[in-house]
Structures are given as C-alpha cells and as structure tokens.
Amino acid sequence: MTVHEKMKGYSLVTASMATMSLLGYFATPYPSYFLGFFVGLFFGFLNLWTTYQKALVIGKFRPTTSTKRSFLSYGLAGVSTVIRIAFALAAVAIALYFPEAIHLFSVIAGFSLIYVIILLDLILQTVRKR
C-alpha cells in the first residue's frame, strides 16, 4: 500500500468522523463536546497532512546512491515539527479562549483520534500479513 493510498484512507475515515461530530453538534444537547471533538479532529488531520507533505518532499530530495543526508531534509523535518506543535497549541488555545462553546477534553480526544486511527491501521496491516 502506497503513502497516497494510506492518506486517502485516513482522509475518508477523518471526513466520516468529522461528519458524525457535526451531526452530533446539531442534533444533540451536547454541542460543546461535539464542536470540541471536531476542532481537535481538524487540527489532528492538519498534523497528519503536514507529516504526509513532509514525507513527499523529503522523498523527492533523498539521495539515491549515497547515504549522506541533505541539509534540506533536516530543515524540513525541524520546521514540520514546529508547525505540528503550533497546531496542537492552537487547538488548545481555541478551546481555552471559548470554554463555553468548545470542550477542552473533547479537543484533546479529537486531536488524538488521528493517532488511534493510524495505530489501528498498523495493527490491521500486521494481522493481514500473518
């Protein structure tokens, strides 16, 4: 399975979870929980997308015959890490700025759901290979 196919699958799962959270926002008496989950899911997906883009860029600039790493790949890795940390801080800051509209723990749950999806995909891939 290629990186593009995995990202497409992760995008579909994330879009379906985002749709369910928006339905919960409009249809239940707990809108702050579902809006917080949606905000966390959105920023978590942005983290995944930046990691995916970094993998594509570094894959283009990797040396084919040498094991020597370029400065560009290290620079991109560092910038990407700073961007992902900034996304996490932005999600929490939004929840703290609007505490009555966005539930903080739901933001954290939505943010971490991307990593749970990746872990489950890894486990399923391992089970299928055996």
Instruction: Provide the pLDDT for residue 104.
Output: 95
**Confidence band, pLDDT 50/70/90 cuts, at residue 63:** low
For residues 129 and 48, what is the distance between their CA atoms, to the nearest angstrom?
Answer: 25
Q: pTM to 2 decimals?
A: 0.85
pLDDT digits (tens, 9 = 90+) for 70-114: 666 667 667 888 899 999 999 999 999 999 999 999 999 999 999
User: DSSP for 65-105?
Assistant: S--PPPHHHHHHHHHHHHHHHHHHHHHHHHHHHSTTTS-HH
Instruction: Provide the pLDDT for residue 67.
Output: 58
Instruction: Provide the pLDDT for residue 56.
Output: 80
Q: Using alpha carbons, list the distances in angstroms from residue 49 to 24, 52, 80.
A: 25, 5, 10
Instruction: Provide the pLDDT for residue 64.
Output: 60
Stronger pLDDT, 59 or 129, i.e. the higher one: 129
Residue 59 corresponds to which tokens in the numbers above? 């894959």
pLDDT digits (tens, 9 = 90+) for 3-53: 888 999 999 999 999 999 999 999 999 999 999 999 999 999 999 998 888
